[in-house]
Amino acid sequence: MFSYTAPVRDLRFVLEELLEHRSLALPGFEEASSELVEAVLEEAARLAGEVWGPLNASGDRQGCSRRDNGGVTLPDGFIEAYQAYVDGGWNGIGVSEALGGQGLPEVVASSVQEMLHGANMALGLCPMLTAGAIEALAHHGSDALKETYLPRLVEGSWTGTMNLTEPQAGSDLSKVRTRAVPCPDEKGDHYRLFGQKIFITWGEHDAAENIVHLVLARTPDAPEGNKGISLFLVPKYLVSEPLVNAAGSLGERNDVTCASIEHKLGIHGSPTCTLSFGEGDGAIGYLVGEEGRGLNHMFTMMNEARHKVGIQGIGVAERACQHAFAYALDRVQGKARGAETTISEHLDVRRMLLSMRARTDALRALALYCAAELDVARHGADESERKGAQARVDVLIPVVKSFSTDQAVDIASMGVQVHGGMGFIEETGAAQLLRDARIAPIYEGTNGIQALDLAGRKLQRDGGAALNDLLERVEATAEALRGHGELVALGESLAAGAADLRAAMAIVLEQGSDPENGADAIQAYATPFLNLAGHVLCAWQMGQSALKASAAQAGGSSEPFYRAKLVAADFALRQWLPVGRANRSVIEAGMASLAGFDATTI
Amino acid sequence: MFSYTAPVRDLRFVLEELLEHRSLALPGFEEASSELVEAVLEEAARLAGEVWGPLNASGDRQGCSRRDNGGVTLPDGFIEAYQAYVDGGWNGIGVSEALGGQGLPEVVASSVQEMLHGANMALGLCPMLTAGAIEALAHHGSDALKETYLPRLVEGSWTGTMNLTEPQAGSDLSKVRTRAVPCPDEKGDHYRLFGQKIFITWGEHDAAENIVHLVLARTPDAPEGNKGISLFLVPKYLVSEPLVNAAGSLGERNDVTCASIEHKLGIHGSPTCTLSFGEGDGAIGYLVGEEGRGLNHMFTMMNEARHKVGIQGIGVAERACQHAFAYALDRVQGKARGAETTISEHLDVRRMLLSMRARTDALRALALYCAAELDVARHGADESERKGAQARVDVLIPVVKSFSTDQAVDIASMGVQVHGGMGFIEETGAAQLLRDARIAPIYEGTNGIQALDLAGRKLQRDGGAALNDLLERVEATAEALRGHGELVALGESLAAGAADLRAAMAIVLEQGSDPENGADAIQAYATPFLNLAGHVLCAWQMGQSALKASAAQAGGSSEPFYRAKLVAADFALRQWLPVGRANRSVIEAGMASLAGFDATTI
């Protein structure tokens, strides 16, 4: 039976050697020593490996079920596992101390998230959603709302949800129809909500005392489209008194019910609900931020939620790697050099294993680089430093979200293939990872939307300045590799990749700024452009990884770990990057074929 | 509710325009007119669309279940749908008239198979396995066995299975342990078999009167390894008399039982059984062919079974295309040029749709090209013609099997993405296609094994002559495109792809023939080499498609169909082929990283 082991050594390599623990040097993190970080990682690894991980397969098998009374029964053990997470204080580790959290750097919080998602992605979704609700409230909630709701959310004893989608309003949220009616005649400054939301992750469950729904809805007489949408907080149980330091005084059940739960391809342990608001007198909700600014407020937290989905992809990819390696090292089949052997010795299987490992390493390094930049953007000592980091974060986040999740699906699928026929049998566990991973390119904005965000908004608004900043760093790494005897070929490959990305960027900037066809050009080039950027940026991180590993060896280390990092870097730069580089040709081929067909006759 | 429509027009385009119906001109097909073929396709389309297709989703949902008595209950409607197939005479369409079939060309039989798999892949597996049993018996069975078993198998009233895998013997069949003991003291010339086989597709069911198991087993005192393995026919019900022209005289139940059925990722409507042979006195089995030649006999039919799995991938890919197009043309979301629109108008969605369509077209054209070569190999007028065709078939089959199935998984996954959040909901139906498709790269020899077959056996034994023959045809098409005003860019791209494949072939031939490291080189390069070959050969077919479509337009046709083929060809050659071409760089990077890691420490 496979069991997941959190990749502490790999995470530490990224935090300590690639990122040189630079987040710890920032103002505000004075109390976070490298020893503390190490202890946090070890402790999280225990929770992930011993408590969450063992429930992954059983949670998938059992799934969630809706009771007749509208309640949702979670898989066995999930409530206890979530409680262990809350009791351990894990929910607040990345939340600022001002809000009651531990205020650890984002790089540390992201590392912990990766472990938890690798252990149990379905369960990991619950705190991911809560984190979004905390962000939205912290930035836009009134003091009264913050006082009442934040402490429990930060603690994790209450959980959060994001209510965006309606049947006619998916990627296009301007179509939201849920209504929020002000109630001047009632006591309290609230609205009553009426409508139905679908695809609400962890929308109903008994793992927490209360659930705090954040809901997009339209006020009466609000204008059509985006500007008519506001954000509301709708608690499952009404709260009469602020709960700070109080033992808890939950009131009546609010008029929000779980109408059904979805039967999904994967993440069976995560209840995906249809929520009905206002089947009776209307669900009581409180305005968060300003009327008409709901989408803006929601997108404040979207950016970070997208980073978290990328991290989630990496968690599943890591689990898929471990699963495939364990099988390949155990399964005896065929011969290598005349002797019976495990399949891990066949070069064609090794290609799959190394591809999985190298890509997972690369995605992790890039996602944590992005987290480190987030730390600088929030805590950097001077403003220009913060602004520069934020600009890089803005470019990196759609890449981390899309590229990590697309790759995670492919890595999980490759993991199935390593298992041969056993991979197709559900009890083996490899297939679940493919099923689970498959949602990540879809939610929190489809990967196509991420690509538009990168090639459109993010690239066009600064004329490519932030990506150029990153590309200069890529080129510096390429130079360093070229100056390094045994790594010259890696440097050449990285330099060629950077040149491709520059060429593609020039096309997307030039054609994208065309007043007439710019929007089409951006749509046409977005996905191959993001794919190219993902390959080059990940390859860059693997180039850095090679330099660090090589330096460690030069310093006398004979750890197999560093040899492995050099092999993975070689694969990433010389066997993986070339495939990504082909996207330059795809973009250079233009968009005529995309524009020129009639979908009804092809 | 989605319903599958067999792609008759597309199939006819390949048969009539790309292949110019050349199979019909071969000796032996005098009675097969183009009108007959058209009628067959139309009739098969009706069976697929009206009878098999509507059971696809319900079959997945319901799945198969094993009864306490060892019987297997199929999903509702499957028995009747299979019976309709038998009653329509479909099982024998590609079987020679000498064996009681209709003796239609392989291109026609393959076209019909694609439709049936597109309609219902799980059900399509049943006749696919029977076809394998027919092949093996026809080539290697004694006259008595053929007389007794072939008529019913050809008719389809009995079905066949292939019993290869055991827990310790998957890709490496030399490890088979099932025993076959001769019984000199018993009446009849039979053996008794003892052992267990796993992953037996359609191993037990009630859709046929009898099941004919073909089983690999080891005779007493047989040598270790491949040469000790023989092939046996083990009927579910013993047959006392030959059944030719008899009403049927099935005897006792043989000692073979279904011990369990698998819980799989997909193809839930296909019962995958563990079969126990000889829990009592031993299962009575009859030697097929020679003792010790079981693997050779099995591989006679393997080649064609592999072609059929490729076809199966294409069937599922076609269904995924239709599913995605139907959704995209219906789903209103967002705006294009200021107006509300279906998502089929967003260029990023169009990229997915066109990619799915262009790739499916290309895979179909290549698979049917291979089928046409199979027709020539079997029926060509002179021997050198037959030999040349067989050499090309030998190279094409691993490509058709692997490349079609890898691409089918990706196409089905892209289909999920087109559906957004709905794609992850099982009731939508898109996810099933991904789950179903995922087995095809695994069974009938994993795609890694196919790649070894291509880069190893097939390429090395003739020094690349057969692939060179194909490459000359590719280059001729590239030349034709280059001489064709509007298709010049397609010709340039195809020529560049052909040059890459030549360069990669030279590396694989040179390093592969090295006495010391040749086997390693072949293993290391096999998968990227096959991937490159698949892209180039598919692009070639799309180049041919563009030439034909362009000629039709020049001849005055204004059918949207031809415009669509030109768009698909443009995408395939200029946006898809470049990604495949990157495999040349992958091969040129060498195999050091694959050889140089320790799987226990990476």
Instruction: Tell me what ipTM this predicted complex has.
Output: 0.97
Name the residue among B523, B541, B528 with its Cα closest to residue B501. Answer: B528
How far apart, in whole angstroms, are the C-alpha atoms of residue B14 and residue B17?
Answer: 6
- The burial class, CB within 10 Å (0-12 / 13-18 / 19+), for B529 is buried
Pairing between β-strand A158-163 and β-strand A210-218 as defined by DSSP bridges: parallel
Mean pLDDT, all residues of chain A:
96
Our CA-based measurement puts residue B1 at a distance from the nearest CA of chain A, in whole angstroms, of 16
> Binning pLDDT at 50, 70 and 90, where does residue B302 land?
confident
Residue A245 has pLDDT above 50, yes or no: no
Of A206, A70, A62, A51, nearest in space to A126 by CA: A206
The greatest distance separating any two alpha carbons of chain A, rounded to the nearest whole angstrom, comes to 86
> Taking CA B18 as the corner, what is the angle to CA B12 and CA B21, rounded to the nearest 5 degrees?
65
Q: B417–A448: do the CB atoms touch at under 8 Å?
A: yes
Average pLDDT over residues A506-530: 96
The pLDDT assigned to A243 comes to 54
- With beta carbons under 8 A apart, name residues in chain A contacting B553: none
Q: What secondary structure letter does DSSP report for A255?
A: S
Flag if B417 and A165 touch (Cβ within 8 Å): no
Exposure class string for A272-291: b at 16+ Cβ within 10 A, else e: bbbbbbbeeebbbbbbbbeb
Of B351, B523, B568, the CB nearest to A602: B568
Give how far the C-alpha of residue B192 lies from the chain's centroid of Cα atoms, to the nearest Å.
Answer: 33
Q: How many angstroms separate the CA atoms of A538 and A61, rounded?
A: 35
Instruction: Give mean pLDDT, residues A319-346.
Output: 94
Q: Using one digit for the tens of pLDDT, what is the confidence trace for A410-463? A: 999 999 999 999 999 999 999 999 999 999 999 999 999 999 999 999 999 999
Average pLDDT (B193-201) is 98
CA distances from A158 to A131, A183, A302, B419 (A): 11, 26, 20, 33
Question: pLDDT at position A246, please?
Answer: 52
Q: Dihedral, CA atoms, B258, B263, B265, B270, nearest 10 degrees?
A: 30
Residues A368-372 have a mean pLDDT of: 98
Distance of residue A103 Cα from the nearest chain B Cα, in angstroms: 33
Closest approach of chain A CAs to the CA of B402, in angstroms?
12
How does strand B237-239 pair with strand B250-253? antiparallel
- Closest residue to B334, CB basis, from A171, A416, A560: A171
Distances (CA, A) of A270 to A123, A436, A511, A570, B44: 6, 10, 43, 38, 43
Which residue type does B550 have? S
Q: For residues A578 and A493, is the Cβ–Cβ distance under 8 A?
A: yes
pLDDT at A308 over 80: yes
The single residue listed with the structure tokens 């669309």 is B49
Q: Are B468 and B456 in contact (CB under 8 A)?
A: no
Chain B residues inside the 8 Å CB shell of A320: none
Render pLDDT for A73-88 as a digit per residue (tens, 0 to 9). 999 999 999 999 999 9
Q: CA A125, CA A267: separation in Å to the nearest integer?
A: 9
Phi first, then psi: give them for residue A253, nearest 5 degrees: -70, 130
Residue A484, min C-alpha distance to chain B (Å): 18
Q: Contact B218/B178 with Cβ under 8 angstroms?
A: yes
DSSP state of B387: H
Å between A57 CA and nearest CA of chain B: 14
Alpha helices in A278-346 (DSSP H): 294-330
Contact A575 B563 (CB under 8 A): no
CB B597 within 8 A of CB B527: no
In chain A, whose CA is at the least distance from the CA of B429?
A: A265
Q: Kindly determine whether residue B265 and residue A601, on different chains, have CB atoms separated by under 8 Å.
A: no
Q: In this model, does residue A337 exceed pLDDT 80?
A: no
Mean pLDDT calculated for residue range A63-78: 98
Q: In a 3-state reduction of DSSP, which class is residue B335?
A: strand
Q: What are phi and psi of A229, to 5 degrees?
A: -105, 130
pLDDT > 70: percent of chain A: 99
- C-alpha B43/C-alpha A574 separation (Å) is 51
Contact A334 B171 (CB under 8 A): yes
Residues of chain A contacting B451 with CB distance shorter than 8 Å? 348
What is the residue type of B341?
A: T
* Nearest Cβ partner for A596 among B199, B265, B567: B567
Residues facing residue A272 across a β-bridge: A201
**Nearest-by-Cβ selection for A575 from B172, B571, B586:** B586
Active site residues of B: 444
pLDDT at residue number B248: 53
What residue has token string 């086989």? Answer: B197
Model confidence at B602, pLDDT cuts 50, 70, 90, reads: confident
| B361-390 mean pLDDT | 98
Please state, in angstroms and rounded to a whole number, the distance separating the CA atoms of residues A568 and B83: 54
Task: Report yes or no: B395 and B373 within 8 Å, Cβ to Cβ.
Answer: no
Query: Looking at beta carbons, which residues of chain B come within 8 Å of A567?
Result: 593, 596-597, 602
How confident is the model at residue B242, as a pLDDT?
56
pLDDT of residue B335: 87
- DSSP state string for B513-556: T-TTTHHHHHHHHHHHHHHHHHHHHHHHHHHHHHHHHHHHHHTT
Cβ of B563 within 8 Å of Cβ of A597? The answer is yes
C-alpha pair distances (Å), B123 with each of B51, B212, B219, B265, B270: 11, 17, 34, 16, 6
Q: How many CB atoms lie within 10 A of CB A313?
A: 32
Tokens of B86: 């038998």
Single-letter amino acid code for the residue at A255: D
3-state percent breakdown (helix, strand, coil) of chain A, nearest 5: 60, 15, 25
Closest residue to B438, CB basis, from A175, A416, A583: A416
Helices assigned H by DSSP within B7-77: 8-12, 34-46, 56-62
**Degrees to nearest 5, angle at CA A323 with A321 and A326:** 105
The minimal CB distance from B357 to the residues A171, A595, A602 is found for: A602
pLDDT over threshold 60, residue A247: no
pLDDT at B244: 46
Query: Can you tell me the mean pLDDT for B171-189?
Result: 91
Q: For residue A98, what are its two tokens?
A: 């001002």
Amino acid at B303: N
DSSP string over B224-283: SSGGGEEEEEEESEEE-S--TTS---EEEEPSEEEEEE--BSS-TTS-EEEEEE-SSS-E
Q: Are B393 and B377 in contact (CB under 8 A)?
A: yes
How much is the average pLDDT of B414-419? 98
**Mean pLDDT of all residues in B50-56:** 98
Of A295-299, A311-315, A439-443, minimum mean pLDDT range: A295-299
Cβ–Cβ gap A333/B426 under 8 Å: no
Taking residues A90-96, what's their average pLDDT? 96
Residue A244 has pLDDT above 60, yes or no: no
Helix (H, G, I), strand (E, B) or coil at B333: strand
Angle at B596 between CA B590 and CA B598, to 5 degrees: 145
Residues A467, A470, A476, A480, Cα dihedral to 10°: -130
**DSSP letter (8 states) at residue A283:** E
- Residue in B with minimal Cα distance to A442: B420
**Cα of A132 vs its chain's centroid, Å:** 12
Structure confidence at residue B303 as a pLDDT band (50, 70, 90): confident
All domains of chain B in start order, with CATH: 53-88+120-292 (2.40.110.20), 301-594 (1.20.140.10)
Residues of A in contact with B526 (CB under 8 A): 348
Cβ contact B602–A353 (<8 Å)? yes
B273: closest chain A residue by CA: A425
Mean pLDDT of chain B: 96
Percent of chain B's residues with pLDDT above 90: 93
Give residue B241's pLDDT band: very low, low, confident or very high (50, 70, 90). low
CB-defined contacts A:B, below 8 A: 250
Note whether A421 contacts B199, CB cutoff 8 Å.
yes
Strand, helix or coil at A11?
helix
Q: Which residue is listed with tokens 């196509």?
A: A448
Q: How far is CA A259 from the centre of its chain?
A: 28
Contact yes or no for A12/A41 (Cβ under 8 A) = yes
User: Of A155, A345, A373, A444, which is the active-site residue?
Assistant: A444
Instruction: Give tens-digit pLDDT for A466-500.
Output: 999 999 999 999 999 999 989 999 999 999 999 99
Residue A484, strand partner residues: none
CA distance A496 to B582: 13
Pick from A48, A131, A47, A31: nearest CA to A88 = A47
Which residues share a beta bridge with A231?
A216, A288
Smallest CA–CA distance, residue A118 to chain B, in Å, is 18
Residue B495 and residue B539: Cα distance in Å, rounded? 10
Helix axes A383-418, A294-330, angle to 10 degrees: 40
Which are the contacts of B400, defined by CB distance < 8 A and separation ≥ 6?
A: B306, B307, B310, B311, B363, B366, B367, B370
pTM, two decimals, is 0.98
Do A417 and B448 lie within an 8 Å CB cutoff? Answer: yes
Write the pLDDT tens digit of every residue in B440-474: 999 999 999 999 999 999 999 999 999 999 999 99
* Strand ranges in A364-426 using DSSP code E only, listed in sequence order: none
Q: Which range, of A55-59, B231-235, B335-339, averages the lowest pLDDT? A: B335-339
